[in-house]
Amino acid sequence: MFSSVLIANRGEIACRIARTAKRLGMRTIAVYSDADAQALHVKLCDEAYRIGPPPATESYLLIERIIETALASKADCIHPGYGFLSEKPDFAEACVDAGIAFVGPPADAIRAMGLKDRAKALMEKAGVPVVPGYHGDQQEPKFLKRKAYEIGYPVLIKAVAGGGGKGMRRVERHADFDEALESAMREAGSAFGDSRVLIEKYVSAPRHVEIQVFGDSHGNVIHLNERDCSLQRRHQKVIEEAPAPGMSADLRDTMGMAAVAAAKAVGYVGAGTVEFIADGANGLRPDGFWFMEMNTRLQVEHPVTEMITGLDLVEWQFRVAAGEKLPKSQSEVAPRGHAVEARLYAEDPEHGFLPSTGKLLALDFGKGDGVRIDTGVEAGAEVSPYYDPMIAKVIVHAPAREAALARLAEALERTIVAGPKTNLTFLAALCRAPDFRAGDFDTGFIDRNLVQLGAVAQEPDRAAAARGAEVLLAREAARIARRHAGPPSPWDIADAFQVSGARDTTMPLLVDGKPAMAHVAYRPQGAVVLIDGVAAEPAAIAIETPGSVHVLRGGRQTVVALRDFESAEGAEADGDGAIRAPMHGKILALLVENGSKVTKGQRLAVIEAMKMEHALTAPHDGTVSELSVTAGSQIAEGAKIMAVTAPEEKKD
């Protein structure tokens, strides 16, 4: 076994690897960018080394810098985690060339499975079923469009070098193909440095079922059962579970053996995942699944496999990389109970799941029996715009699926996160969705049920806002009391005293940045605060900051502040048609120029933030003016990009 490991990653996976390495008696070595100098993974490891500025391209993706650090720290091995350099064959080779063990598969296996078109051709030769489509080298747009027509719509455009939903677009109509192809190629080039794509037939009721495989350097390959990752949005997994609902023992064996054949075809060593698309229209069937791709690394959702098998997959990775044989044979691995994982993100489901950044003012997870939390942050940490906005993975285990889903919902509802907006309420709603609990779902489930899941713009939480107003009122009263310290005077009482009538007043507020008015009625028992007739919720959790109060109720966050009429934010929107950046990001493309005539809903610009593209559209018909940015420039959240001036109405 190794005596030391350099973890070439950050966040929760770096913390996860460090825990197992420490248990095995290894010296743990962290690397960090300037944005992560105070990060949790840095604090958990025995040693830590700076490797560059915040952008990953200047730090975590620098192979030479990582190797230099590993040599300087005398690391026996490098564990890449997932993402960043984990599936870069050049990195695996660089480790070996430097005399450092790479905790992952051989570079040749990474190359073989890294390009989706080549991987599919290889799988066809190995007898593994493959989705119909075009996987060739021809990349001329007109040719690809013709192939899509021949395959038959709907189709999927997928990045050849992709993963994690980057560079992937579903196309329903022939007329939409050109725009989708251009967007997919641009995103693929940005994410992977390779803009090539392939075209696949889209399965009408797809289930995403993947098999965890493990191989050693002695020729042994087994599978550790399946995971269902069908609950997705924009091809990004949201909730994963194991075993897959509706999976029979025979189908598990058939799919598992196909995955083992795929791994053996490339001489695979270490942890990997073979991903299949299954037709769930009439239940999972042995003749209804096809190979999609192989991820040549540990997966984000590996904890659900650990929960149902009782194994530590990171320990297995270390042992296999050290030359040991697999600890168990195929017959010794069987699922026990049910596990579900939810990805807790700093994002805003009510506004298109836009990433949300900022300081974590409070963070407390809903722990309990059968609950596991994998996180790379703590209270006071910053969710930065440079990396994936994951806060934690909440994983639960129970004897049966129904109990596991109930346990996960309860854990999510007990979790407290203040600062950035999160998907907590959305995740809990997913766990309690009747059709999902009944096993009636596919990869389109979330998109079909956004309204029922609360992932659309909601009315303000008036009960939470009123609770925030109560806290602000008490704070103002305390401030006045401190200012007038000394002998009491009836004129110092901040209770809306008046000579006759009810002692009522109003309190101007900003609720989630929008103007609101609280009605405050002073009664013998104290002040009663109402917003639009709704009283405060006493059980809501209020977290104070110098300028506001963050109120948490049912996982949803409401930010309440006193309204300052002298500030710009204290005024009503002026309706000037300003197009502002919804988050910190990079302007990928400008689709208009000053003077352009646009129509409502027309795409104006594309922003890239946290590895995803977001289109900005015209709020109404009009003319573009005040364009103040260029393609490639960085833009701050809320910054004005341009304006769309509505045409003046004709007068009689």
Band of the pLDDT at 490, cuts 50, 70, 90? very low
Residue 245: name the closest of 217, 197, 291, 208 by CA. Answer: 208
Check residue 52 and give left, alpha or beta (phi > 0: left; psi -120 to 50: alpha): left
- Tokens describing residue 344: 């807790």
Burial class (CB in 10 A: 0-12, 13-18, 19+), 487: exposed
Strand-pair partners of 519:
506, 530
- Worst-scoring range by mean pLDDT, 301-305, 500-504, 536-540? 500-504
Residue 32: name the closest of 48, 16, 20, 43 by CA. Answer: 48
In angstroms, the CA 196 to CA 188 distance is 7
Assign 311 to helix, strand or coil: coil
- Tokens describing residue 99: 């005399």
280-297 core/surface letters (b: 16 or more CB in 10 A; e: else): beeebeeebbbbbbbbbb
In angstroms, the CA 47 to CA 468 distance is 43
Band of the pLDDT at 573, cuts 50, 70, 90? very low
Q: How much is the average pLDDT of 77-102?
A: 97
Q: For 610-643, how does the pLDDT look when each residue is reduced to its tens digit (9 = 90+)?
A: 556 778 889 889 999 999 899 988 888 778 999 9
User: Which alpha helices (DSSP H) does 240-301 contain, by range?
Assistant: 249-265
Q: For 283-303, how does the pLDDT look when each residue is reduced to its tens digit (9 = 90+)?
A: 899 888 999 889 999 999 999
Q: For 338-350, how does the pLDDT look when each residue is reduced to its tens digit (9 = 90+)?
A: 999 999 999 999 9
Length of the chain: 652
Which residue, chain included where needed, has tokens 């079922």? 209
| Residue 493 CB coordination number (10 Å) | 14
- Tokens describing residue 196: 């090539």
| pLDDT of 7 strictly over 50 | yes
Residue 258: name the closest of 298, 227, 286, 230 by CA. Answer: 286
Walk across the sheet containing 541-545 and list its strands.
534-535, 526-531, 514-523, 504-511, 556-562, 548-553, 541-545
Band of the pLDDT at 522, cuts 50, 70, 90? confident
| pLDDT of 496 strictly over 80 | no
| pLDDT of 500 strictly over 90 | no
| Residue 80 CB coordination number (10 Å) | 26
Cα–Cα distance list, 545 to 361, 419, 424 (Å): 8, 10, 21
Q: How much is the average pLDDT of 182-193?
A: 91
In angstroms, the CA 72 to CA 95 distance is 13
Contacts of 247 (CB under 8 A, 6+ apart): 209, 226, 228, 284
| pLDDT of 58 strictly over 60 | yes
Question: Is the CB of residue 373 less than 8 Å from the CB of residue 367?
Answer: yes
In angstroms, the CA 97 to CA 94 distance is 5
Q: For 454-467, how does the pLDDT look when each residue is reduced to its tens digit (9 = 90+)?
A: 999 999 999 999 99
Radius of gyration (Cα) for the chain, nearest Å? Answer: 27
**DSSP structural state of residue 130:** B
Terminal-to-terminal C-alpha distance of the chain: 87
| pLDDT of 444 strictly over 80 | yes
Q: How much is the average pLDDT of 528-540?
A: 94
Question: Is the CB of residue 356 less than 8 Å from the CB of residue 421?
Answer: yes
| pLDDT of 45 strictly over 70 | yes
Residues with a known catalytic role = 297
Band of the pLDDT at 580, cuts 50, 70, 90? confident
Cα 487 versus chain centre, distance: 56
Contacts of 488 (CB under 8 A, 6+ apart): none
382-405 core/surface letters (b: 16 or more CB in 10 A; e: else): bbbbbbbbbbbbbbbbbeebeebb
Mean of pLDDT over the chain: 90
Q: How much is the average pLDDT of 50-64?
A: 97
Half-sphere exposure of 566 (CA within 13 A, CB side): 0
Secondary element (H or E) of residue 66: helix 63-72
pTM: 0.82
Assign 569 to helix, strand or coil: helix
Q: How much is the average pLDDT of 371-382?
A: 97
Q: For 151-164, how does the pLDDT look when each residue is reduced to its tens digit (9 = 90+)?
A: 999 999 999 987 77
Cα–Cα distance list, 592 to 183, 578, 596, 603, 612 (Å): 16, 14, 6, 8, 21
Strand-pair partners of 104:
none
Q: How much is the average pLDDT of 209-216?
A: 98
Question: Is the CB of residue 209 less than 8 Å from the CB of residue 245?
Answer: no
In angstroms, the CA 554 to CA 462 distance is 13
- Tokens describing residue 627: 């364009």
Query: In the chain, what are the domains?
Result: 4-103 (3.40.50.20), 132-201 (3.30.1490.20), 462-483+493-569 (3.30.700), 574-645 (2.40.50.100)
